[in-house]
């Protein structure tokens, strides 16, 4: 394998500019799944990927998913299904990624235009989606191209499933995965997802767990229209005052969730699990660097990692309808929608969690004695996932990490969520591996999201090397 991988690696290095150009084109498409007006851009991004794949010789289908639930005027973006290679003597690996991105505006505080890939002198490639998840998705395409240019036989058959709604709860994808498990995905021997991050900036990891995510809205309304606070203040119940009181009762500033019935569902920590945290390469400095501050709740790494992987958390995200522009508008908003989410862990149940959340929010609102109306509902939900890393899929990836990065990877869990991971595992019955490309300082979902050139280029080598080791790894 050594000379083959060396030729592949050489091609990756000499095609650096081509691969960065491909990322530049992808970042330039503002494929924001959460914004209705950007839906044509999300669709455009799906077509861009499909065209790039076709040009590389892959068989590609754009699968429509129908209308978006609760937004029937919007078509869901298509799922890009691809196949590269169909050799019965090779293993088949199914890879998943997403081509949609989080919202981004320069005015949010970006130093550069979010949809223009900007490479600085430290090799940091700034742009929305660079690390989450356009860089890793293009990593698979780049690995194919470097094999072709190196004249190295592609070691596996590759099935690809790239969606455009991951950042909005993967609407519509669960059903497609279940339907295709015994059709398009039938040959898959294992699944690999590159859509998370290292714990720090130097040590690669393989990931075997994710938290789930239940995302909620609380709508409070009363007045027929926005009001003048001088003319009407003190006379009408104000939706924003009610909402802030309810939202303020969900979590305290130490991160404790105040809703009864949440912590009761969390599985107890075992003695074996306790030991795992000791060997992970992670420092508080890593956290300070990726946080961009030292404002941590915990002072030590173990409770910090447990808070990220092992316990639920509740975050307040924003208020739709609230005055948020600079200046001093004296308005009483007539209707406001508060958004919060709970990251869930074993053994939390989606429905039980919804039930206790609705009950608690309704009780808190009732306590206010307000004449306004309140509605609470889940926008989307997705279950947590924890798998066994004792599988050839993981051992092949560990060898690839050692070959490319020269170190043994850490085995980690992830605080974020990729809702369809569990669906892939259950529907195909195959092992799922998370193989991250980006690092802890990439700022996914934040301003100034970036992917380091080094992580992109070595990451392409990693994805390709993983496929070579997969081809050779003995069955468990
Ligand atoms: C880890 C992955 N790259 C990611 O960012 N996932 C999102 C998925 C999500 C869940 N609800 C909305 N989006 C995340 O963890 O926030
Ligand atoms: Zn994301
Ligand atoms: Zn992602």
Model confidence at 273, in pLDDT bands (50, 70, 90)?
A: confident
Distance 366 CA to ligand 2 centre (A): 35
Tens of pLDDT, residues 337-347: 999 999 999 99
Q: Half-sphere exposure of residue 165, counting CA atoms within 13 Å on the CB side?
A: 24
Tens of pLDDT, residues 169-190: 898 999 999 999 999 999 999 9
Average pLDDT over residues 364-383: 97
Angle 446-448-449 from CA coordinates, rounded to 5°: 65
Q: Residue 2 has what pLDDT?
A: 67
Distance 128 CA to ligand 3 centre (A): 11
Best CA proximity match to 442, nearest among 241, 205, 199, 219: 199
Tens of pLDDT, residues 84-116: 999 999 999 999 999 999 999 999 999 999 999
Query: Is it the case that residue 254 has pLDDT exceeding 90?
Result: yes
Strands 124-126 and 450-452, by their bridges, are antiparallel
Question: What is the pTM for the complete model shown?
Answer: 0.94
Distance 345 CA to ligand 1 centre (A): 15
The answer to whether the CB of 167 is under 6 A from ligand 1 is yes
Best CA proximity match to 308, nearest among 328, 290, 334, 335: 290
For ligand 1, atom 13: residue with the closest CA: 167
CA 90 to chain centre: 30
Q: Where are the beta strands (DSSP E) in 6-114?
A: 59-63, 67-68, 71-75, 79-84, 92-98
The answer to whether the CB of 100 is under 6 A from ligand 1 is no
Share of the chain above pLDDT 70, in %: 100
Query: Is it the case that residue 382 has pLDDT exceeding 70?
Result: yes
Average pLDDT over residues 262-285: 92
Model confidence at 240, in pLDDT bands (50, 70, 90)?
A: very high
Active-site choice (145, 166, 242, 442): 166
Q: Where are the beta strands (DSSP E) in 294-358?
A: 313-320, 331-332, 335-344
What phi and psi, each to the nearest 5 degrees, are found at residue 185?
-95, 5
Name residue, tokens 């009483």. Answer: 332
> Is 0.90 exceeded by the ipTM?
yes
Best CA proximity match to 470, nearest among 222, 158, 183, 200: 158
The answer to whether the CB of 418 is under 6 A from ligand 1 is yes
Sequence ranges of the binding site for substrate: 195, 228, 330, 343, 417, 445
Query: Is it the case that residue 322 has pLDDT exceeding 80?
Result: yes
Residue 268: partners with Cβ closer than 8 Å, 6 or more residues away: none
Query: Is it the case that residue 262 has pLDDT exceeding 90?
Result: yes
What phi and psi, each to the nearest 5 degrees, are found at residue 126?
-85, 140
Higher model confidence: residue 20 or residue 419? 20
């Amino acid at each position: 394998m050594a000379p083959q991988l060396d030729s592949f690696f050489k091609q990756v290095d000499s095609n650096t500019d081509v691969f960065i150009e491909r990322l530049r084109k992808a970042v330039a498409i503002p494929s924001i799944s959460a914004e209705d007006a950007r839906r044509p851009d999300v669709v455009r991004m799906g077509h861009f990927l499909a065209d790039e794949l076709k040009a590389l010789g892959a068989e590609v289908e754009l699968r429509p998913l129908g209308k978006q639930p609760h937004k029937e005027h919007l078509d869901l973006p298509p799922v890009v299904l691809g196949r590269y290679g169909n050799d019965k003597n090779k293993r088949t690996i199914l890879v998943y990624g997403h081509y949609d991105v989080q919202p981004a505006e320069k005015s949010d505080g970006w130093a550069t235009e979010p949809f223009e890939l900007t490479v600085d002198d430290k090799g940091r490639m700034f742009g929305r989606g660079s690390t989450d998840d356009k860089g890793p998705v293009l990593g698979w395409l780049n690995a194919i191209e470097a094999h072709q240019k190196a004249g190295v036989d592609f070691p596996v058959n590759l099935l690809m499933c790239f969606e455009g709604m991951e950042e909005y709860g993967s609407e519509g994808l669960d059903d497609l995965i279940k339907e295709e498990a015994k059709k398009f995905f039938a040959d898959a021997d294992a699944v690999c997802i590159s859509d998370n991050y290292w714990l720090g900036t130097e040590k690669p990891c393989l990931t075997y767990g994710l938290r789930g995510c239940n995302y909620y809205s609380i709508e409070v309304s009363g007045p027929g229209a926005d009001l003048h606070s001088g003319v009407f203040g003190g006379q009408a119940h104000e939706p924003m005052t009610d909402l802030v009181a309810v939202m303020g009762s969900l979590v305290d500033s130490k991160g404790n969730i105040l809703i009864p019935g949440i912590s009761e569902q969390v599985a107890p920590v075992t003695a074996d699990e306790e030991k795992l945290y000791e060997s992970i390469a992670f420092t508080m400095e890593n956290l300070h660097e990726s946080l961009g501050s030292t404002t941590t709740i915990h002072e030590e790494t173990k409770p910090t990692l447990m808070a990220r992987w092992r316990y639920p958390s509740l975050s307040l995200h924003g208020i739709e309808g609230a005055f948020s522009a600079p200046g001093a508008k004296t308005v009483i908003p007539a209707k406001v929608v508060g958004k919060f989410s709970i990251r869930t862990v074993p053994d939390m149940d989606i429905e039980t969690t919804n039930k206790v959340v609705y009950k608690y929010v309704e009780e808190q609102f009732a306590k206010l004695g307000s004449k306004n109306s309140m509605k609470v509902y889940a926008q989307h939900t997705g279950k947590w996932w924890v798998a066994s890393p004792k599988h050839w899929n993981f051992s092949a990836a560990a060898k690839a990490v050692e070959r490319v990065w020269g170190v043994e990877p850490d085995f980690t869990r992830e605080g974020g969520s990729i809702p369809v991971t569990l669906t892939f595992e259950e529907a195909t019955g195959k092992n799922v591996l998370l193989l991250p490309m980006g690092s802890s300082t990439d700022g996914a979902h934040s301003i100034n999201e970036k992917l380091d050139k080094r992580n992109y280029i070595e990451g392409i080598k990693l994805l390709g090397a993983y496929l070579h080791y997969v081809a050779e790894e003995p069955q468990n």
